[in-house]
Amino acid sequence: MRTLRFLLRKEFLQIFRDRLMVLQMIIMPLFQLLLLASAATFEVKSAKMYVVDRDHSSASRGLISRLQAGGRFVLAGASSSMSVADEEMLGRRAAVIVSIPADFERDLVRTHMAQVQLVMNAEDGATAGVTQSYAAQIIASYAREIGVSIAPAVREGPSIEVRSRGLYNAELNYRDYMVPGILVQLVTVVGTLLTAMNIVREKELGTLDQLSVTPLGTGVFIAAKLIPLWLIALLELSLGLLVARFVFHIPMRGNLLIVFGAAGLYLIAALGIGLFVSTLASTQQQAMFVTFFIVMIYLLMSGMFTPVRSMPVWAQWMAQLNPLKHFIEIMRAVLLKGAGVTDVLRPLAAISAFGAVVLTLAVRQYGRRIA
């Protein structure tokens, strides 16, 4: 449509003449990407371990050195007093306390069974669970190793050998897992926030009224507002993917076209939300706050930080209505697992449905301004 052409020209001129906007669209997200990708990890490197060894036997000493052997646990100190250990933990000088009781070796030899107590500092988050897993694994394999020397008269009996293989993330690199989600978040913030603020700015300045008096159709106006930001957000996604590939070496095992297709659909939803917000806010500050509020909720419930599967059932249902969740899922599936279109049909459908609904609602809400 001819009018659309005129409006698009105006939008692009305005966007690129606005230095702040360019900063917000390109520099800030890239900066955020670099920062986030570096900082966003829940990886547990090495934990400071404090030992309370009341046995002082070769078995207990063997256990302690085995724990340190892999580098996952670093000895921060040892004593025979639990209260000293506790002080160390309170002072954040120890993350784990390994407490070995007095009859450790004797129990092992006599009953083939002994206990060890682990006290984890659960202050810092999910890392406590992971650290515990590592400790448990090391202790279990230690038990198998010394079984040969302590109980050499091994009777024949059943045993199960468990091997394990981790898929999609050979180096157990947290970054590979987080970066797809980060990219989604950036594109969302830019798309939704800038759309909302852009339209509200016209409201604030009064230029919106001027346009409303013209025969300009609502549809054309909205299209002109959404199309440039849609394109720019896609451009940003491409830049982000480039950075992800060449700076952070994130694997890209699947077809990137799927990613872009999903992004195109997803952005319609994201921009639609921005449009909706613009009908609610009358100042740019309000637009910013409302957008952050909504995006924050979506982000928290998207599975980016905590797994959706662990949420209660009602929350998981809500997550189905969350386009961010679906898009992050698609990104992770395609980039890390090499998924194809058929594998991500469900989330794609969900995103499309959401986009259609939001856009319709937003357009309708927009048309209601006059009354």
Partner 1 sequence: MNRGALRAFVVKELRHILRDRQTLTILLLMPLVQVILFGFALRSDVRNVRVAFVDPAPDYATVALEARFRETTRFVVVSSGRTMSVVEPLFRRGDADVAVVFEPGFAEHLRGAEPARVLLVVDASDPNTGTVMQNYARAVIASYEQELPAPKGALRIATQTRMRFNPTLESVNLFVPGLIALVLTLVSALMTAISLSREKERGTMEVLLVSPLRPVQIIVGKVLPYLALAFANVVTALLAAWLVFHVPFRGSVLLLLAESIVYALVSLALGVLIAARTTSQRAAMLGAMLGTMLPSTLLSGMIFPIASMPGWLQPVTNVIPARWFIIIARGIMLKGVGLPNLWRETLILCAMAVVLMAASVRSFKPRLAS
Partner 2 sequence: MTTELAIDAHDLTRTFGSFTAVDHITFDVRAGEVFGFLGANGAGKTTAIKMLVGLLAPSGGQAMVAGFDVRTQRDQIKRAIGYMSQRFSLYGDLTVRENIQLYGGIYGLADAVIAERTTQLLETLGLADRAKDLVRTLPLGWKQKLALSVALLHEPKIVFLDEPTGGVDPVTRRQFWELIYAAAARGTTVFVTTHYMDEAEYCDRISIMVDGKMAALGTPAELKAQYGVSSVDEVFVRLARGAKAVA
Chain positions 68 to 127 lying near partner 1, rule: CB under 8 A, are 89-92, 108, 112-127
**Using CA atoms in the order 297, 302, 305, 307, what is the torsion angle rounded to 10 degrees?**
130
Q: Are 55 and 104 in contact (CB under 8 A)?
A: yes
Buried b (16+ CB within 10 A) or exposed e, 114-128: bebeebbbeeeeebb
CB of 278 to partner 2, least distance (A): 17
Residue 84 has a CB neighbour count (10 Å cut-off) of 15
- Tell me which residues in 213-232 interact with partner 2 (CB under 8 A): 213-216
Tell which one of 4, 102, 130, 220 touches partner 1 (CB under 8 A): 130
**Using CA atoms in the order 208, 214, 220, 188, what is the torsion angle rounded to 10 degrees?**
0
Strands 47-53 and 73-79, sheet pairing: parallel
Which span (85-93, 118-126, 200-208, 232-240) binds partner 2, by CB under 8 A?
A: 200-208
Judge residue 90's burial from the number of C-beta atoms within 10 Å of its C-beta, 0-12 exposed, 13-18 middle, 19 or more buried: exposed
Is 337 an interacting residue with respect to partner 1 (CB under 8 A)?
Answer: yes
Compare residues 161 and 368 and give the one whose CB is closer to partner 1.
161
Widest Cα–Cα separation across the chain: 95
Compare residues 45 and 368 and give the one whose CB is closer to partner 2.
368
Tell which one of 117, 210, 282, 306 touches partner 2 (CB under 8 A): 210
Q: Would you give the DSSP letter of residue 343?
A: G
Q: Are 103 and 19 in contact (CB under 8 A)?
A: no
Is 50 an interacting residue with respect to partner 1 (CB under 8 A)?
Answer: no
- Tell me which residues in 28-47 interact with partner 1 (CB under 8 A): 28, 31-32, 35-36, 38-45
Is 19 an interacting residue with respect to partner 2 (CB under 8 A)?
Answer: no
- Tell me which residues in 165-194 interact with partner 1 (CB under 8 A): 165-169, 172-174, 176-177
Is 305 an interacting residue with respect to partner 1 (CB under 8 A)?
Answer: yes
Which span (10-18, 291-299, 310-318, 326-334) binds partner 2, by CB under 8 A?
A: 10-18
Binding site residues, partner 2, CB under 8 A:
2-3, 5-7, 9-10, 13-14, 17-18, 205-207, 209-216, 370-371
